[in-house]
A and B are shown apart, each in its own frame.
Chain A
Amino acid sequence: MRLYEFEAKSIFAAHNVPIPRGKVIVTPEDAKKVAEEVGGAVVLKAQVLATGRGKVGGVKFAFTPEEAESTASWMFKSKIKGYSVEKILVEEKLEMEQELYVGATYNEVEKKKVMICSSIGGMDINEVSQRYPEKIFKVLIDPFIGFQPYQAKELSYGLKLPFQISKTIQSVMLKLWEIFVKFDATLTEINPLGLTKEGKLIVCDAHIEIEDDALFRQKKRLEEFGIKEREDKARPPTEFEIRAAEIDKADYRGVAGRVTEFDGNLGLLIGAGGGSLTTFDAVLNHGGKPANYCEVGGNAPVSKIYNLAKLILTKPGVKGLAVITNVYSNSRVDFLARGVIKAMVELGIDPKKYPILFRSAGAFEEDGYAILRKYGVKYYGRETPMDKAARLAVEMMKGKE
């Protein structure tokens, strides 16, 4: 779960890492008030969970309180990378001598946490590591010892800054580490970490991502900061996706309902995990036009499959359905068949006439196939590879546009 900038900054402030003076606001009038309080020029930053907002109008300067109000008013009406702006952070505009970077994340290859700092801030750290590898300093952390002051010292020396500033950076790094660990973050970074003319360090922008799988033990801590649990997506979820998520939530059993909307005509109910990746690819590679991505597996009950099938079959533009899964280990083929048929019958769709293809195998396959035969649905078993089934589904859709 990615935190908003203002949330991340409040955490840094609570750990005594200085942040700019300012406030998060929800109305243009408040933008004016904050600008008056702060005095002088301010920066308005749209609080959206998207990277690169600066390039699309998500960060603007204002030199008078009136200008702050009008800019905020404009910003609230605009969309930043598809997100509507509900909150704006209004802060004092600062002049920096230099912009630095400090961050902590995981190194998947070494299977360790890693602390990183760089003398280049304000740029994506992956880009820095590709373009200026000599300006980036990293240390892998032993899980049983943690990040130690001597490591902060060694890292900060790479930045080649005066001793006193170096010492302050070391303490910022240690606090960042403390936050990273305490909040079960997968990424914690101050980018940029501003160095003022007076030699003071300040958090210009902060990014914290908390691991979704660790939220169960972070609830109380997040509440203390007024942070609500929410689900992240690279783009805002569509109405269709929200409805699918509701179906999934209504019953804890089974992986079913991880849904992404597309604009094609072929509805998909496909095996979970790698099975869905394989099938979706095959549909696309054979020239098919998926209406959606939807996983089913983990022994989902009939009711869940039925609800998802119904959702997909009633999606505008859907002209056919492909149900393709891998050979099941712990799911039942008959559940899958029953759920799909129930949805069709209830919607008054004749399975004999509707373009539908079914490929699944594994536990209770004979029971499943019997149901499909009864309703006249074309089905395939393990002898038909998944990508061939995908091709047949695409062929079935020919002339259905």
Chain B
Amino acid sequence: MAILIDEETKVIIQGITGREAVTFTRGMLDYGTKVVAGVTPGKEGQEVYGVPVYDCVKTALENHEANTTIVSVPPRFAKDATFEAIDAGIKLINVFTERIPRADVIEMVAFAKQRGARIIGPNSLGMISPGKVKLGPIGGPVDECNKAFTPGNVAVLSRSGGMLVETCSQLSLNGIGQSIAINIGGDPIIGSTFFELLPLLEKDPQTKVIVLFCEPGTVQEETTAKFVKETSYKKPIVAFIAGSFVDTMPGMRFGHAAVIVHGETGSTKAKARIMREAGIRVVDYHSQIVTEVRKILEEIS
């Protein structure tokens, strides 16, 4: 048992008939994920690899049992699709859509909070509990996915989708498996930041170590450090912060929408310092994540 997703996860995909969604639906089914239905207005009655498509989330849920949804619709429809899922009672919403206006995102987040639902994303590439279930294209086709992700005791949370796969791939190559891997999304405002997921991981018996892949911009890492310090967080955390060169180029955007530094705010230097002060083990090179995690696993056992 990890967090958020497991064998009981039953998924609907909003926007299932889109080009990318069709591809990752195949990948999810091959991985063994229970994709019970899809939703695309106007396409009711069609199928995507045997998954029935409906016009509305409500009708899909009248015909199938589901507790999770993937929102993979164009930006202008993303808020409505998320509202629709929340209103239909779905409690876990993984939003893949990139470039959703912030004004919409804060409404999505507020409505989810009101109804006790959780949003992962937007601008997420998905999540995976290795060997059990995966949401979205994360890891690619099933054979590739099995090379990158293996079951184990390390939880990996990442602001980057690509680097989530890379990080887990490095761990797996070195015989270290993962309990859960989540791409929390690359936008400035997201449904679940690092520290909002940490309490769940603290309670998860499968997770022994947590790895965070961090980036410049926002104050996510800073708030995470504060949380870890204030709550005397019990599990060891290893962090890598990419993009220290961005510190020297204020106002310029690199990579994700959230990667922009203004003075000291959001700089990797400040992040590293504050995280270290909180007892988080910040490594300088990406490949050192493996070394550090291995060290901790040896210490624990």
A residues engaging B (CB < 8 A)?
106, 108-109, 111-113, 126, 142-144, 181, 184, 186, 211, 213-214, 216-217, 233-235, 258, 260, 271-278, 280-282, 284-285, 293, 295, 297, 325-330, 361-363, 382-383, 385-388
- Whether A260 touches B106, Cβ cut-off 8 Å, given contacts A109-B223, A277-B242, is no
Q: Does A328 lie within 8 Å of B107, measured CB to CB? A: no
Which of A184, A271, A329, A330 has its CB near the most chain B CB atoms (within 10 A)?
A329
Q: List 14 A-B contacts (CB under 8 A).
A: A106-B189, A113-B106, A184-B101, A186-B102, A213-B102, A234-B249, A272-B162, A273-B161, A273-B162, A273-B163, A274-B215, A277-B246, A281-B245, A325-B162
Closest CB-CB distance, B76 to chain A, in whole Å? 6
Query: Does B286 make an interface contact (CB < 8 A)?
Result: yes
Q: Does B76 lie within 8 Å of A216, measured CB to CB? A: yes
- Whether A216 touches B254, Cβ cut-off 8 Å, given contacts A211-B102, A284-B245, is no
Closest CB-CB distance, B30 to chain A, in whole Å? 13
Query: Does B169 make an interface contact (CB < 8 A)?
Result: yes
Q: Which residue in A233, A234, A271, A281 is a CB contact (below 8 Å) of B162?
A: A271
Indicate with 1 or 0, residue by residue over B205-232, a CB within 8 angstroms of chain A CB atoms: 0000000010110111001000000000
Closest CB-CB distance, A360 to chain B, in whole Å? 11
Q: Which residue in A181, A295, A382 is a CB contact (below 8 Å) of B169?
A: A382
Write out the residue numbers on chain B whose beta carbons fall within 8 Å of the beta carbon of A143: 106-107, 110
Query: Does B166 make an interface contact (CB < 8 A)?
Result: yes
Write out the residue numbers on chain A whose beta carbons fall within 8 Å of the beta carbon of B218: 108
By beta carbon, the residue of chain B nearest A325 is B162
B64-116 contacts to A, CB under 8 A, are 75-76, 99-103, 105-107, 109-110
Write out the residue numbers on chain B whose beta carbons fall within 8 Å of the beta carbon of A329: 125, 137-140, 144, 161-162, 165
The list of the 5 closest CB pairs from A to B, nearest first, reads A274-B160, A277-B243, A234-B251, A385-B287, A274-B163
Q: Does A274 lie within 8 Å of B188, measured CB to CB? A: no
Q: Does A275 lie within 8 Å of B141, measured CB to CB? A: no
Cα distance A186–B169 in the bound complex, in angstroms: 37
Query: Does B158 make an interface contact (CB < 8 A)?
Result: yes
Query: Does B23 make an interface contact (CB < 8 A)?
Result: yes
Interface locus among B32-40, B42-50, B53-61, B258-266: B258-266
Write out the residue numbers on chain A whose beta carbons fall within 8 Å of the beta carbon of B188: 106, 108
Q: Does B160 lie within 8 Å of A273, measured CB to CB? A: yes
Cα distance A363–B143 in the bound complex, in angstroms: 9
Cα distance A364–B108 in the bound complex, in angstroms: 37
Query: Does B250 make an interface contact (CB < 8 A)?
Result: yes
Query: Does B20 make an interface contact (CB < 8 A)?
Result: yes
Closest CB-CB distance, A229 to chain B, in whole Å? 15
- Whether A184 touches B103, Cβ cut-off 8 Å, given contacts A277-B255, A284-B245, A361-B169, is yes
Number of CB contacts from chain A to chain B under 8 A: 170
Write out the residue numbers on chain B whose beta carbons fall within 8 Å of the beta carbon of A281: 242-245
Q: Does A275 lie within 8 Å of B166, measured CB to CB? A: yes
Q: Does B162 lie within 8 Å of A328, measured CB to CB? A: yes
Q: Does B255 lie within 8 Å of A276, measured CB to CB? A: yes
Q: Which residue in B75, B160, B250 is a CB contact (below 8 Å) of A275?
A: B160
Closest CB-CB distance, A84 to chain B, in whole Å? 19
Query: Does B148 make an interface contact (CB < 8 A)?
Result: yes
Cα distance A235–B215 in the bound complex, in angstroms: 22
Write out the residue numbers on chain B whose beta carbons fall within 8 Å of the beta carbon of A186: 102
Write out the residue numbers on chain B whose beta carbons fall within 8 Å of the beta carbon of A284: 245
Closest CB-CB distance, A284 to chain B, in whole Å? 6
Q: Does A108 lie within 8 Å of B189, measured CB to CB? A: yes
Q: Does A382 lie within 8 Å of B162, measured CB to CB? A: no
Cα distance A326–B257 in the bound complex, in angstroms: 19
Q: Which residue in A184, A260, A325, A330 is a CB contact (below 8 Å) of B20?
A: A330
Closest CB-CB distance, B193 to chain A, in whole Å? 8
Write out the residue numbers on chain A whose beta carbons fall within 8 Å of the beta carbon of B138: 329
Closest CB-CB distance, B209 to chain A, in whole Å? 19
Write out the residue numbers on chain A whose beta carbons fall within 8 Å of the beta carbon of B251: 234
Cα distance A184–B76 in the bound complex, in angstroms: 13
Q: Which residue in A280, A382, A386 is a CB contact (below 8 Å) of B245?
A: A280
Known A274-B163, A327-B148; 5 more pairs at CB < 8 Å: A274-B161, A277-B160, A280-B254, A329-B139, A363-B144
Q: Does B286 lie within 8 Å of A385, measured CB to CB? A: yes
Cα distance A297–B255 in the bound complex, in angstroms: 11
Cα distance A276–B215 in the bound complex, in angstroms: 11
Write out the residue numbers on chain A whose beta carbons fall within 8 Å of the beta carbon of B203: none
Q: Does B242 lie within 8 Å of A278, measured CB to CB? A: yes
Cα distance A146–B96 in the bound complex, in angstroms: 27
Q: Does B189 lie within 8 Å of A111, measured CB to CB? A: yes
- Whether A108 touches B160, Cβ cut-off 8 Å, given contacts A211-B102, A277-B242, A280-B245, is no
Closest CB-CB distance, B23 to chain A, in whole Å? 7
Write out the residue numbers on chain B whose beta carbons fall within 8 Å of the beta carbon of A385: 170, 285-287
Q: Does B244 lie within 8 Å of A295, measured CB to CB? A: no
Q: Does A363 lie within 8 Å of B141, measured CB to CB? A: yes
Cα distance A217–B100 in the bound complex, in angstroms: 12
B135-159 contacts to A, CB under 8 A, are 137-141, 144, 147-148, 158-159
Q: Does B106 lie within 8 Å of A233, measured CB to CB? A: no
By beta carbon, the residue of chain B nearest A253 is B19
Cα distance A396–B259 in the bound complex, in angstroms: 30
Q: Which residue in A126, A234, A277 is a CB contact (below 8 Å) of B215?
A: A277
Closest CB-CB distance, A266 to chain B, in whole Å? 14
